[in-house]
Structure 1
Amino acid sequence: MDAYLLIDFGSTYTKLTVVDLEKEEVIATAKDITTIEENIMIGFEKAYLKIEEKLIGKNVNFIKKLACSSAAGGLKMVAIGLVPELTAEAAKRAALGAGARVLKVYSYELTLDEINEIKNSNLDIILLAGGTNGGNKECIIHNAKMLAENGVRLPIVVAGNKVTSDEIRQIFTKAKMYFTITQNVMPSLNKLNVEPAREEIRKVFMEKIIDAKGLGNAEELIKGILMPTPAAVLKAARILSDGSDEESGLGDLIVIDIGGATTDIHSISEGEPTKGGVTTRGLEEPFAKRTVEGDLGMRYSAISLREAAGSRKMRKYLCDPERKIDIDANCKYRVEHIKMVPTTKEEIHFDEAMAKVATELSMERHVGTIESTHTPMGAMYTQIGKDLMEVKYMIGTGGVLIHSENPKDILKAGAFNEENPMYLKPRKAIYLIDKTYILSAMGLLSEYYPDKAVRIMKKYLVKV
């Protein structure tokens, strides 16, 4: 049978998925610890041996082997813009949509201290934006000169005021820097245009970053690392929502991905007001939006999750009003034992409480909010961000959700709550779980077979 081998070199696990293209079935999955410190192929080969055992007796011909990666910290970027709420925020959204971890966003003219911070940040790519087309050009040119003249030698994607392109090209060419110029992330006030920048970031990731992370060893085996893992998940979410040429999509949806270091939220929705008489304010929201909460993780970020939540919220989900559970000690243990797998009822209960906190807080940060203002004409309502109250599906992925006996309870922590009605979270969503870790794999498969990818996701996402 003809099959695709789809690989996710994750930060903790390398996950393999084998898909029978003709039957549109997942015929085998396996995973093993990612071995980025030694040779990434060691972990892959251990997982591959498990796949071979599962395929004994089956005549499988791998016609393609594709991969995504978030190993070695994933794709790390900074975004540089002009006004924090406008071009700097637009640059950040473009980087997040490309699957990056945005370590910091800089606005206005860069200082020497900020340049030194950038140089010491262990980055992969810089996204340089600033100014609408025909607007301010002094800031982005100043920042280009600062990067060129102070020894910053990182790939740079330029996505700012188009009238500065020629001068920036001369600055970076003279300094012998690796750069690419694409369309402005915010061509006019409050209007986003993030897709060209996302595509350029992906190209740079493939061309320049793979070898730097030790992933070049994998390229002899596979066709190539197509994209960062979060970008693959976002691509899968989008095609599942939109559908393909021959297969209808599910409509508006949200993916909640709870990991050891971060909780990622992907929403596929226009996010326009669902109630009449509401006006919108602020930067235009992308149809396919990703946010990353680096302080809301199950292992690496367990202590920061506890700090973000506070004791009261943690104890609410732990059902521990009498303060019998040592929250600090439990979180500290998880940070010190990042590969811990919960086995006792108490460990599982604590992990699931953490997951509920991560879901609630990350959704509050992702969705839009509603504000009311009293005027002589009565109350006026303003929406900032995306209204996701009518989203049809909430899809959960990540180990804590996949292995939970009560995944719906975790996802419901991110639903609309009458106690905090200002957050425009889903009210009547259907809950699905990615039990077989197929979302990133289907993002890869959709590059070649979008119809099949949609049908496989519909088949394997489990309703809870």
Structure 2
Amino acid sequence: MKIDVLVAEIGSTTTVINAFRGIGSPCPEFLGQGQAPTSVLAGDVTIGLKGAIDDLKYNLKAHDIIYDEMLATSSAAGGLRMTVHGLVYDMTVRAAKEAALGAGGIIKMVTSGKLRRTDLKKVKDINPNIILIAGGVDYGERETALYNMEQLVSLGLDIPIIYAGNIENQEEAAEICEDAGVKLYLVDNVYPKVDILNVEPTRKVIQDVFEEHIIHAPGMSTVREMVTGPIIPTPGAVMEAAKLLKDELGDLVIFDVGGATTDVHSVTEGSEEINKMLISPEPYAKRTVEGDLGVFVNINHIVEKIGLEELEDEFSNVEELIENAKPIPETEEEKRFIERLTKEAVLTALERHAGTLRYIYGPTGKKTIAEGKDLTNIKYIIGTGGALTRLPNRVEILKSAADDGRGLELYPGNDAQVLIDNHYIFASLGVLSKKYPEDALKLMKNSLNIK
């Protein structure tokens, strides 16, 4: 069978392969999907990739598959592990963190101010894929970022560094890294002026660096030879899809509830009224990752949050359901139980992602301020990932995200429309959009059942 583009999603546990035909034509088509265990533990992720292709052949009833291009996303080998180091936590550190998360990074450590000996030991233990250093508005404080860079390169780790701080430091930063033989990427300041975020240039460089250094996972060097286009972090690919879709449909938020984490991606500038009240800037495209909200690996965290007693009122066999939880629920009772956990994951992740209004009192009386991301202008609430594309009551779960506010939360309104990534291909389309944006957009709308 002739296929135009294959897109591989190489996860920590499962590798998925999606097949597309008609790329470059007026009617691009999603043909089907195959999957297999990722096989990191076997020492070669290409085993899982070839297994997924074999499964795709079986699903398409094809004797053989011939493809023109292969693209890929990856979260294998722990994904894109990063440490982030800035000056003031609420300013440059937060800006750098937003850039890293939006690019698909898994942030293992965040520090503000000068690094201590214990901080350096933790960085060494984490052994990140990328180190991101920021600090100081342009033409502001210089010393902290340069001190941190000197300390980090002294560790002797073969880890690329991205510098996204005060532009006055760029020349000196380059000299420090050159003397130490460390690969350095210079990028515009993530926080160039007070109350101004500039995260997109850093996001792009993070994805470029990830692709260049992707061979950390066993067998990924072979995958790099098989892949003809970019390899980007899977969560970053979902963000690329979200930004492309926002330009077509309007403001949106995407929920991805998985076995280990729940990711939320929102693309919105918020309302003009709320923007006037904001006490600190928020990125146009924001991603949050909740590492304790997974419906399989982290099932006990969600059970504890809901409360065992409350679940026992709803399910007569709770302990059995917890003990025998599967990555994919099979019986009606198992599905109903996972739906309950998924709803809790969605609402908790929403609470952590969205901002709130707050009242402060001063000499002139009560004043209303806004903190965090404003979702009040959201037009579409979208579900992707295993749980929110496969569970029977997925639409009702997502509708609860618009119904849950109690007045001060900056949540989507009741008029927000719920859409589902029915083909479960948003991550694949995010990487496809890097080369074929028009085709990716058409395929996204098809998956969402938008005519």
Alpha-carbon contact 2:34-2:59 (below 8 Å) kept = no
Alpha-carbon contact 1:389-1:416 (below 8 Å) kept = no
Instruction: State the shift of 1:404 in Å.
Output: 0.8
Q: Distance in 2 between matches of 1:221 and 1:176?
A: 30
CA separation of 1:437/1:201 partners in 2, compared to 1, >3 Å: closer, same or farther?
A: same
Q: Distance in 1 between matches of 2:314 and 2:375?
A: 36
Question: 5 Å matches for 1:132-281?
Answer: 132-242=137-247, 249-274=248-273, 279-281=277-279
Amino acid at match of 1:257: D
With normalisation by structure 1, the TM-score equals 0.89
Instruction: State the shift of 1:361 in Å.
Output: 0.7
Instruction: State the shift of 1:401 in Å.
Output: 1.6
Alpha-carbon contact 1:416-1:424 (below 8 Å) kept = no
- 1:361 paired with 2:360, answer no
Amino acid at match of 2:278: T
**2:380 counterpart residue number:** 393
**2:11 counterpart residue number:** 10
Question: 5 Å matches for 1:34-433?
Answer: 34-38=38-42, 39-56=44-61, 61-242=66-247, 249-274=248-273, 279-282=277-280, 284-307=281-304, 309-311=305-307, 315=310, 318=311, 320-321=312-313, 324=316, 326=318, 330-331=321-322, 334=325, 340-374=327-361, 379-418=366-405, 420-427=406-413, 428-433=415-420
Q: Distance in 2 between matches of 1:340 and 1:452?
A: 32
CA separation of 1:196/1:332 partners in 2, compared to 1, >3 Å: closer, same or farther?
A: farther
Amino acid at match of 2:38: T
Q: Distance in 2 between matches of 1:37 and 1:298?
A: 23
Q: Distance in 1 between matches of 2:403 and 2:314?
A: 27
CA separation of 1:377/1:144 partners in 2, compared to 1, >3 Å: closer, same or farther?
A: closer
Q: Distance in 2 between matches of 1:182 and 1:410?
A: 40
> RMSD in angstroms over aligned alpha carbons?
2.4
Amino acid at match of 1:133: D
Amino acid at match of 2:99: A
- 1:30 paired with 2:34, answer yes
Secondary structure (helix, strand or coil) at the match of 2:328 reads coil
Q: Distance in 2 between matches of 1:322 and 1:53?
A: 40
Instruction: State the shift of 1:190 in Å.
Output: 1.9
Q: Distance in 1 between matches of 2:103 and 2:215?
A: 15
Amino acid at match of 1:424: L
Instruction: State the shift of 1:437 in Å.
Output: 1.4
With normalisation by structure 2, the TM-score equals 0.92
Secondary structure (helix, strand or coil) at the match of 2:20 reads strand
Amino acid at match of 2:307: S
Instruction: State the shift of 1:131 in Å.
Output: 0.6
Q: Distance in 2 between matches of 1:435 and 1:322?
A: 29
Alpha-carbon contact 1:274-1:389 (below 8 Å) kept = no
Alpha-carbon contact 2:254-2:381 (below 8 Å) kept = yes
Alpha-carbon contact 2:165-2:191 (below 8 Å) kept = yes
Give the stretch that moved more between structures: 266-275 or 403-412. Answer: 266-275
Q: Which runs of 5+ in 1 are unaligned?
A: 243-248
Q: Distance in 2 between matches of 1:300 and 1:151?
A: 35
Secondary structure (helix, strand or coil) at the match of 1:79 reads strand
Instruction: State the shift of 1:452 in Å.
Output: 1.5
Instruction: State the shift of 1:187 in Å.
Output: 0.6
**2:429 counterpart residue number:** 442
Q: Distance in 1 between matches of 2:420 and 2:242?
A: 13
Secondary structure (helix, strand or coil) at the match of 1:187 reads coil
Q: Distance in 2 between matches of 1:457 and 1:224?
A: 20
User: Which of 427, 432, 439 is the equivalent residue of 1:452?
Assistant: 439
Q: Distance in 1 between matches of 2:46 and 2:217?
A: 15
Instruction: State the shift of 1:150 in Å.
Output: 3.2
Secondary structure (helix, strand or coil) at the match of 2:278 reads strand
CA separation of 1:35/1:274 partners in 2, compared to 1, >3 Å: closer, same or farther?
A: farther
Q: Distance in 2 between matches of 1:149 and 1:275?
A: 45
Q: Distance in 2 between matches of 1:108 and 1:75?
A: 24
Alpha-carbon contact 1:302-1:332 (below 8 Å) kept = no
Secondary structure (helix, strand or coil) at the match of 2:307 reads helix
Alpha-carbon contact 1:272-1:386 (below 8 Å) kept = no
CA separation of 1:46/1:60 partners in 2, compared to 1, >3 Å: closer, same or farther?
A: closer
Alpha-carbon contact 1:35-1:42 (below 8 Å) kept = yes
Q: Which runs of 5+ in 2 are unaligned?
A: none
Q: How many residues align?
A: 444
